[in-house]
Amino acid sequence: MNPDGSIDEKKLDPVAQQAYQYAIEFYEKDHLLTRDQRSILAKTYSTVSYATLGLGWGTFFAVTSIPFYRQKIRTGSTKGTNVGIAMLFGIGAMMLTSPYFAIKTYNWQLEKLRQKDNACYEVASMLKPGETTKWMLYYQLTMDSPEHIMKDPRSKAAAELRTKTLYSGRDPMGLYSGPRAEMSKRRRELELEKRQQQQQGVAPPAQPSEPAETQDETYEFKSVTPTDDDPFAEPAQEGKKWSSAWDRVREENGTQSSQSASSWDRLRSQSTIPNIGSSSPSASTPEGNSASQSDFDKLLDQERHQSDELENSKW
C-alpha cells in the first residue's frame, strides 16, 4: 500500500489484481448513476430476487409432495410416507433449481434494461445473478442516501474501510459516534478553550443576556415576626376585617366595632395589658389586694353558713 492509502498493484497477486481492476471499473460506472437509475436497478434486482425465491419454494413443495402422491396412488392413503425423505428431496431440488431460475430471470431483466436504460444495463451486466439480494439492498439504500455509494478503491477512504475488522467501528450505544458524541466533544472543546483563556488572563466571552421578562422580575422578602411561628395566628387579610358575625352585622348597620383584632390577639392583650381608667383600685396596689381578700372571706363565710343550715335542716 502506498503512503497516500492507494494499493500498489505490482504487489498484488493476479487474482487480487483482477478483482481490484474489476472494482475500479464498477465504481466508474456506478457513481455516475442518478437517483432514477438507481431506483430502476433496485426494482430490477427486487424482481429477480422475489422471482427466484418464489420459484425455489414452488420447486420445494412440488418435489416434497411427490412421495405423498405416490403413496396415495399405491395404498389409497398418504399414511406411511417418510416425511423426512420427502423434505430432503424438496430441499435438494430447491438448491439445484434456484441458480437456474436466477440466471433465467436475470437474463430476462437484462434484456429489458438494454431497451430501457443503457447505463443501468452496463452496470447490471457486470454483476452476478447469484448476488441479486445484496445489490437490491445496495441500490435501495443509495437511492435515498448518496453518502453510502461505493468509494473509489484508489482513495484513502476506501483503504480505511478495507483495514477495518468485523467489530471495529461498531458503536451500538452511540458513545463514540453520532449526535451525543458530537455534543460531548463540543462541550469538552469549549471547556478547554475557557480554561486556556483563564490561564492566559483573557476574559471569557460574555454570556447572552437574560430575557427582559426575567430581568424585570423583583422579589420581596418579608421580615419574620414572632407571630409567624404561631399555628393559631390568623393571617392578615386586605380589605374589610371582621372578627365575628356580630362585627359584620355592626359594619352593615354603620356601627363601629370595638373588636378589630382577632380572638387570639384580644386574649393576648387582656393577659398582658392591665385595665386602665377603672374606678376600682388596681390589683397590684396593697389596698386593692386587701379589698379583694375581704370580699373573698365574706363569700367563704356565707358558703359555710349555708352548708351548716342545710345539715341542720336534714336532722
Distance CA 88, CA 228 (A): 91
Distance CA 262, CA 139 (A): 86
Query: What is the pTM assigned to this prediction?
Result: 0.47
Distance CA 116, CA 45 (A): 15
Tell me the pLDDT tens digit for each residue of 101-128: 999 999 999 989 988 888 889 898 888 8
Give long-range contacts, CB 8 A cutoff, 24+ apart: 199-204: none
Q: If you average pLDDT over each of 111-125, 276-290, 300-314, which comes out highest? A: 111-125
Rounded mean pLDDT, 48-75:
92
Rounded mean pLDDT, 263-292:
55
Say whether 158 sits in a helix, a strand or coil. Answer: helix
186 pLDDT tier (thresholds 50, 70, 90): confident
Task: Name, in order, each residue with C-beta under 8 angstroms of 77's C-beta and a sequence gap of 6 or more.
Answer: 71
Tell me the pLDDT tens digit for each residue of 135-145: 888 898 888 88
Distance CA 100, CA 88 (A): 19
Q: What is the pLDDT of residue 51?
A: 92
